């Protein structure tokens, strides 16, 4: 079957909240390599958790084989890697493109410390993908995981399971922003607005495990509101409450965390260049192995300064 070749004409690096994503593509006949117009070209934009924010919207035809779609990133949405699904008809073709929404300008810092100054060294787009995966790894390394933990009673009233109380306290504090969206939030499916930083399940009087709703009241003190999916408090015969979350060290420092992410991304980038046998980074040509070790060592040093004692490297 005849197929189309779909190419993005402008790749960008990271985006911020309220930025505009200007998608431009060309479509060519795979046999002739000529620009062509399918009978329809549509785009869907899918958030990092799989929810479609835009569904099969027609792209604008600028000229033969050239299409565009402009998307304004909402001010209140999760960070991460977004998929753009391009679909054509006449001949069915499906192509996925990506863009990355990030909390800060990490690209400039990665280029500064690595020496990869030019786009010809590595594109902002590829750096953005490396930076996001590095950010996710660093978050899980610097925070401490607590799985299926039984919460404490309301620290003010002392109430626990009585059919009225909905306030409880985590056993470890401060609750961490494991989603990396700079807000600590509870269950809020389908996670298109903010990532969920706590999971909550309860076992009812019959022994059936159910998903509940957790709302963060005070992240520093670990105060949460726990209810069933209808907002009801739990009766006294509820068998158990189970919270899964990460806690943040008292030594956590956001500026140091951002620096750590940049160094980990620089290390990952250098390893990628080594695997590809690239020779375009001038600052990595001499003592190449030592340069990699410097990036990794700096990352580990920073993580130990902001994390819990005896933290591992995670590499």
Residues in the chain: 315
For the chain, what is the domain count?
Answer: 3
Do residue 135 and residue 171 come from a single domain? no
Among the three residues 198, 231, 247, which one is the final residue of a domain in this structure?
247
Q: Is residue 296 part of a domain?
A: yes
Do residue 158 and residue 233 come from a single domain? yes
Do residue 11 and residue 75 come from a single domain? yes
User: Which pLDDT score is estimated for 233?
Assistant: 98
Q: Is residue 311 part of a domain?
A: no
Place of tokens 């963060």: 216
Q: Is residue 315 part of a domain?
A: no
d(CA 61, CA 58): 9
User: Which pLDDT score is estimated for 309?
Assistant: 54
Do residue 81 and residue 223 come from a single domain? no
Do residue 162 and residue 231 come from a single domain? yes
d(CA 307, CA 250): 8
Cβ–Cβ under 8 Å, residues 91 and 40: no
Do residue 84 and residue 111 come from a single domain? no
Q: Is residue 126 part of a domain?
A: yes
CATH at residue 30: 2.60.40.1930
Question: Backbone phi, then psi, for 297, in 5-degree steps?
Answer: -65, -40
Do residue 14 and residue 92 come from a single domain? yes
Do residue 156 and residue 137 come from a single domain? no
d(CA 46, CA 199): 23
User: Which pLDDT score is estimated for 289?
Assistant: 47
Residue 72, domain extent:
4-101
Tell me the three state secondary structure of residue 176. coil
Cβ–Cβ under 8 Å, residues 315 and 265: no
Q: Is residue 186 part of a domain?
A: yes
Please tell me the pTM assigned to this model. Answer: 0.85
Q: Is residue 47 part of a domain?
A: yes
Among the three residues 226, 247, 268, which one is the final residue of a domain in this structure?
247
Q: Is residue 312 part of a domain?
A: no
Among the three residues 247, 267, 292, which one is the final residue of a domain in this structure?
247
Do residue 96 and residue 233 come from a single domain? no
Q: Can you give the pLDDT of all 315 residues of the chain as single tens digits?
A: 558 999 998 778 899 999 999 999 999 998 899 999 999 999 999 999 888 999 999 999 999 999 999 999 998 888 999 999 999 998 888 899 999 999 999 999 999 998 877 666 788 999 999 999 999 999 999 999 999 999 999 999 999 999 999 999 999 999 999 988 888 988 765 556 667 899 999 999 999 999 999 999 999 999 999 999 999 999 999 999 999 999 999 989 999 999 999 999 999 988 877 655 544 444 444 444 446 789 999 999 999 999 765 444 444
Do residue 213 and residue 172 come from a single domain? yes
User: Which pLDDT score is estimated for 95?
Assistant: 92
CATH at residue 150: 2.60.40
Do residue 92 and residue 114 come from a single domain? no
Do residue 189 and residue 239 come from a single domain? yes
């Amino acid at each position: 079957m005849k197929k189309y070749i779909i190419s993005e004409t402008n790749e960008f690096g990271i985006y911020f909240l309220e930025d505009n994503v200007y998608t431009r593509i060309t479509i060519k006949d795979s046999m002739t390599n000529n620009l062509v117009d399918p009978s329809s070209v549509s785009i869907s934009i899918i958030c990092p958790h799989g929810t479609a924010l835009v569904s099969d919207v027609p792209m604008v035809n600028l000229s033969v084989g050239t299409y565009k779609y402009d998307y304004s990133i909402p001010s209140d949405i999760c960070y991460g890697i977004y998929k753009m699904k391009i679909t054509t008809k006449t001949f069915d073709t499906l192509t996925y493109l990506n863009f990355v929404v990030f909390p800060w300008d990490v690209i400039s810092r990665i280029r500064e410390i690595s020496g990869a100054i030019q786009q010809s060294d590595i594109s902002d787009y590829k750096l953005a993908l490396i930076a996001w995966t590095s950010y996710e790894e660093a978050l899980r390394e610097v925070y401490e995981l607590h799985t299926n933990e039984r919460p404490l009673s309301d620290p003010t009233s002392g109430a626990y399971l009585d059919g009225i109380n909905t306030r409880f306290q985590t056993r470890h504090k401060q609750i961490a922003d494991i989603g990396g969206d700079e807000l600590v939030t509870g269950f809020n499916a389908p996670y298109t607005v903010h990532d969920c930083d706590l999971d909550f399940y309860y076992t009812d009087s019959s022994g059936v495990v159910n998903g509940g709703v957790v709302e963060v009241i005070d992240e520093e003190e670990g105060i949460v509101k726990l209810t069933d999916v209808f907002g009801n408090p739990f009766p006294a015969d509820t068998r158990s409450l189970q919270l899964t979350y990460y806690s943040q060290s008292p030594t956590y420092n956001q500026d140091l965390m951002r620096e750590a992410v940049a160094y980990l991304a620089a290390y990952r980038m250098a390893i990628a260049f080594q695997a590809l046998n690239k020779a375009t980074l001038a600052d990595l040509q001499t003592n190449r192995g030592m340069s990699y070790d410097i990036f990794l060592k700096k990352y580990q040093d920073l993580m130990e300064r902001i994390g819990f004692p005896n933290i591992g490297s995670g590499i």
